[in-house]
Structure 1
Amino acid sequence: MGQKPRGPGRWPGLLLGAVAGGVVFGGALTAAQEALADDGRMQGRALVEERCSACHQKEADGSLHRIDHVRKTPEGWTMTLFRMRQFHGVALSDEEQRTLVRYFADRQGLAPEEAAPYRYVLERRPSVVEEPVTDGDLSVMCARCHSVARVGLQRRDEDEWRRLVNFHLGQWPTIEYSAQGRDRKWWEIASTEVPQTLGGKFPFKTDAWTSWQAAPKPDLSGRWAVAGHRAGIGSYGGTATIAKEATRDGDGYRITYDLTDSAGKPLKGEGRSTVFTGYEWRGTGTLDGKPVREVFAASRDGSRLDGRWFLTQQDEVGGSLHAVRAGGADSMILGTSQSFLKAGSTARITLWGSGLDRGEVGFGPGVSAKILSRGPTSVTVEATAAADAAPGARSLTVGGAKAGGFAVYATLDSIRVEPDFTIARVGGNGGPVPPMTAQFEAVGYLNGPDGKPGTADDVRVGPMPASWSVEPFNDAAAQMEDVRFAGAMGSSGLFTPAGAGPNPQRQFGTNNIGDLKVVGTVIDGSATLTGTGRLISTVQRWNDPPIH
């Protein structure tokens, strides 16, 4: 049986392959392309009037009931339209849904600073432990089913939040009798405290959104310097060339990647994107021959792009991306091929960024740097740390550019497994849902001024070569032989879960879930250091929307 892709690949409002138009290499859209964009916006409103107004009646001010009183991300609008098609029989083609998502996201989206705290869920980052929105009941009223980000990526006034509560009770009548509902005055809390709290924290009208609506939207075409990191693989950097593409909304781009990894291996790629709300980049393409999706955010002035790419069918597998415009007046260091240097050693290190073809390259006292190759977006050096080089955090400099995130060490003080807690999911084995893997890194640390490991002032050195193993996390895991059945840990720190479905070899014929301690072991000279984390390998996620 074929395996269906997980995540946003199934949601037509964010599928980008059907975008039509020609490529424009930089500059503003032509008059014909502006007309095409205007036509797209007009078509969006016409679709709203034609398909939505039968149920969502016009109010006294001309707005449509409920529809015009909510702001969401592109993913949020995609989910709303999917629900309208699935549960209410609204007739929309995939192309019409894409048109409406673009229309709503541009007209009723979130400002960059409103979406920023919750970008982790849009970028499908694994291993994020959320912080509660407030103390008290809200975490069990909403977050027992949803992520905090799902709430935080919407904007409504108090009355509209209350209508959402009413919708939940109408759609799922047993909600107040389920776990963490029947032990409190659920309806009283849900209909009074929750709308008041959410209306105050996530209101419909904000200065941020008013400001962003009035602001000019950046043109992202041009040449960019890029750097990023993929856990278990390492860092990469290079350039990306973005070309504007005429679409019905005038917000399409093509991107071509010319990157190298930390070992100097080329990483090529290309893709197409739609930019929603003036800054929300959603792309699809290939990188190193693999199909990927891109979720980036442009800065207000269009000088930066930050976000994450991930494999289309395995969104837990991906890497960060940070980009600035190449050729700008200011120099900037975005990343390095490695983040540390051991005292008394020499290493070939590449720095990626913009404006790196001018000025001296420095790693601080006790470290010399011989330039091997150099260009505007990268400089490769042979760096040597003296045997008596002072250990600790260092600032890297290239001309006027300065960046942290580098360390010199003589001996490591501790190892931490990162993430220290995460989950994997069984899958495959003839079923429609592929397994969800988990990637770990063994990260070296130096003690900070307090001289104690595991405290806030520790100095992060970086990911180290390690050997990996798993152990039962507790007595119950040992009794159930979780190490034997739950999956396999690879030499790179990648855990691959076992197949889905009941296993007749296990006690009770249960499936291949497990509760495991992950052990990363690092050899540092004559010392052996270990770090541990926790991995729960659990069952499939059958409902996998763009925002959980």
Structure 2
Amino acid sequence: MALSNNNSKRAVLGTGVLALAGLVSTPVLAQDAQQIIRDRCLACHTESGSAEAPSFSRISEQRKTPEGWLMTINRMTHLRGLELSRDEKRELVQYLADTQGLAPDETQDYRYLLEQDTNRVETGIDQGLAETCARCHSGARFSLQRRTEQEWKYLVDFHMGQFPTTELHSLSRDRQWYQIASTETAAELSKRFPLQTAEWQNWQAADKTDLMGRWRITGYVPGKGAFDAWMSAAKTSEGHYDLSLKGHYADGTALAGEGKATVYTGYEWRASLTIDGVKMRQVMAADKQGNLMAGRMFTAAEREIGGELSAVRDQGKSGLVAVQPAYLRAGESAELTLIGQHLKGDIDLGEGVVVEKILSRSDDRITVLAKATGAEGQRSVRVGDTELAGLAVYDALARVEVLPKDAVARIGGAGGKMPKVRAAYRAVGYSAGADGKPGTEDDLRLGYMPARWSIKPADEVAAHDKDDKYAGSINAAGIFTPGDAGPNPERKMSANNVGRLKVVATVADGSGQVEGEGNMLVSVQDFVRRVLD
């Protein structure tokens, strides 16, 4: 397993997603981008094929995400002296992502990397690939590339040439690393992630839907809470949009923003917006029909501070998209907000759930006072002829899951050039389900729940070192802020403020309360990321 908020991945790919968000340029013509390659790249690369279908060595044998191509271009700039204007870089990324990108089916298992959801422990990585590749960066890094077998071999050679100490690292100095990587690993990568796939051929042939129009969006911003809004995307050129956004947080506070978006490969949405004075980034993927988008939104300054985001196109018909909150305790009255579009007709919250009072109602937002009885389980909510299975009725809260389960924060500040890297937590509630035993497959997920947040030492060593005093603190919104960088004279041998903690969420349940815990590692500054940013 590899913790996917490692230095190199966060540094290079993170820089790419921030640079890509909201890029705006004139429509890209294939011949224009190809001419840029001829003018700027053929000092090292070669061209073959026909004028109508040119092939460029070491370029045409690869496929990557927009961030992957930007990473390559930036590497050529920093290490090989490539000179490109900002507009030329934009045109190349657009062209390469559109013509040599990844299909939706090829990215769906690894979107957390594109969305900068970095506090995640990867699982299911092939042991051989974990030992040769994922020991230095995330498994998603190489899983979001497609190459010929020869190109995978060239990548091994690049690592040896650029990072000659690779063979001296852990999990390499005890074996013939280069021989294994250039034969077995390259062959395995070629088998798992080949250049030519049916998914890519099908996506190239598919009709792409323009993403202009009005979108009903729901999401979450740490420190602000859940929100719903309308987002309008006005097309300015092919694949480029001006955005405006207006809506409300769950507590009723208004939000508004505007920005720009670019779409790559026919479905990869990258947007840059300013919402209530804060610069934000959106990374989403559209479905194959172009009517749904899902991903993540985070602050431009701190990609770790963000939350999930979904968008449903307004097609002029009734549709429910969310219920906030997504749970109702049996026997208690509580407010529920139904979010959607063109919501007309009678309200039905499912078996045993009664609408006691309609508190407010519009075509896209209905708030009711509701009370539930009957067996616990999922209920389908209806408004007129639209339905959504989005409400969980439960008897008692059995357990609380803290997300992320494992997180890394980094000390910083204190007059230095490197800011602190924070982390944002949320609490998810579960009932015991049909078998009455918490922690089994029968558990009923209730959704995100408000919690009281605290920290404590991770173990006896952390308690002895008073990590909970020095390593950082967590606020009422679940945002953890690490300690200052530099030596701390209050600590033994003036050690810095790193440490290991448990993050505790305490959720009220009737007259009682239930706790859940997550892991926090407070580490040193990410020097690699700072240099590359």
TM-score calculated relative to the size of structure 1 = 0.89
1:116: how far off?
A: 1.3
Instruction: Tell me which residue corresponds to 2:233.
Output: 242
Instruction: Tell me which residue corresponds to 2:27.
Output: 37
1:502: how far off?
A: 2.3
Match of 1:339 among 326, 341, 344: 326
1:146: how far off?
A: 1.2
SS across alignment from 2:462: helix
Contact kept, 8 Å, 1:362 with 1:369, in 2: the verdict is no
SS across alignment from 2:89: helix
User: What is the alpha-carbon distance in structure 1 between the residues aligned to residue 302 and residue 181 of structure 2?
Assistant: 36
* Aligned residue runs from structure 1 range 522-533, under 5 A: 522-533=507-518
Instruction: Tell me which residue corresponds to 1:495.
Output: 480
Contact kept, 8 Å, 1:292 with 1:310, in 2: the verdict is yes
Change (3 A) 1:453 1:48: same
Determine if the alignment matches structure 1 residue 119 to structure 2 residue 106: no
Contact kept, 8 Å, 1:71 with 1:109, in 2: the verdict is yes
Contact kept, 8 Å, 1:417 with 1:533, in 2: the verdict is yes
Contact kept, 8 Å, 1:363 with 1:394, in 2: the verdict is yes
One-letter amino acid of the counterpart of residue 295, structure 2 = G
Could you list the per-position Cα deviations for residues 431-453 of structure 1 after superposition, in whole angstroms to 9, with x for gaps in the alignment? 22221212223332210222211
Match of 1:453 among 423, 426, 438: 438
One-letter amino acid of the counterpart of residue 274, structure 1 = T
One-letter amino acid of the counterpart of residue 501, structure 1 = G
Identity rate, percent: 43
Could you list the per-position Cα deviations for residues 357-389 of structure 1 after superposition, in whole angstroms to 9, with x for gaps in the alignment? 24533233243354444444333222223xx44
Could you list the per-position Cα deviations for residues 86-130 of structure 1 after superposition, in whole angstroms to 9, with x for gaps in the alignment? 000011122221121111111111111111111111111142221
Determine if the alignment matches structure 1 residue 470 to structure 2 residue 475: no
Q: Which moved more, 1:200-209 or 1:226-235?
A: 226-235
Could you list the per-position Cα deviations for residues 512-545 of structure 1 after superposition, in whole angstroms to 9, with x for gaps in the alignment? 1110112222332332322222111111222339
Change (3 A) 1:12 1:379: closer
* Aligned residue runs from structure 1 range 358-437, under 5 A: 358-368=345-355, 370-385=357-372, 388-437=373-422
Match of 1:216 among 207, 224, 227: 207
1:8: how far off?
A: 6.8
Contact kept, 8 Å, 1:232 with 1:440, in 2: the verdict is no
Could you list the per-position Cα deviations for residues 228-253 of structure 1 after superposition, in whole angstroms to 9, with x for gaps in the alignment? 2345643211311110012xxx2210
Determine if the alignment matches structure 1 residue 99 to structure 2 residue 91: yes
Instruction: Tell me which residue corresponds to 1:109.
Output: 101
Instruction: Tell me which residue corresponds to 1:305.
Output: 293
Contact kept, 8 Å, 1:413 with 1:445, in 2: the verdict is yes
1:153: how far off?
A: 0.7
One-letter amino acid of the counterpart of residue 304, structure 1 = L
Instruction: Tell me which residue corresponds to 1:179.
Output: 170
Using CA pairs under 8 Å that are at least 6 residues apart, name the structure with larger relative contact order, 1 or 2.
1
Instruction: Tell me which residue corresponds to 1:538.
Output: 523
Could you list the per-position Cα deviations for residues 9-34 of structure 1 after superposition, in whole angstroms to 9, with x for gaps in the alignment? 855993566735xxxxxxxxxxxxxx
Contact kept, 8 Å, 1:232 with 1:441, in 2: the verdict is no
User: What is the alpha-carbon distance in structure 2 between the residues aligned to residue 523 and residue 439 of structure 1?
Assistant: 20
Contact kept, 8 Å, 2:221 with 2:298, in 1: the verdict is no
Change (3 A) 1:332 1:7: farther
Number of aligned residues: 521
SS across alignment from 1:120: helix
SS across alignment from 1:174: helix
Instruction: Tell me which residue corresponds to 1:33.
Output: none
Instruction: Tell me which residue corresponds to 2:7.
Output: none
Contact kept, 8 Å, 1:358 with 1:399, in 2: the verdict is yes
Instruction: Tell me which residue corresponds to 1:30.
Output: none
The runs of 5 or more residues in structure 1 that have no matched partner are 21-35
Change (3 A) 1:14 1:214: farther
Instruction: Tell me which residue corresponds to 2:148.
Output: 157
Determine if the alignment matches structure 1 residue 254 to structure 2 residue 239: no
Contact kept, 8 Å, 1:260 with 1:266, in 2: the verdict is yes
User: What is the alpha-carbon distance in structure 1 between the residues aligned to residue 239 and residue 448 of structure 2?
Assistant: 38
Q: Which moved more, 1:229-238 or 1:464-473?
A: 229-238
User: What is the alpha-carbon distance in structure 1 between the residues aligned to residue 216 and residue 110 of structure 2?
Assistant: 25
1:286: how far off?
A: 0.9
Determine if the alignment matches structure 1 residue 514 to structure 2 residue 505: no
Instruction: Tell me which residue corresponds to 2:188.
Output: 197
One-letter amino acid of the counterpart of residue 335, structure 1 = A
1:282: how far off?
A: 1.1
Determine if the alignment matches structure 1 residue 72 to structure 2 residue 61: no
SS across alignment from 1:63: strand
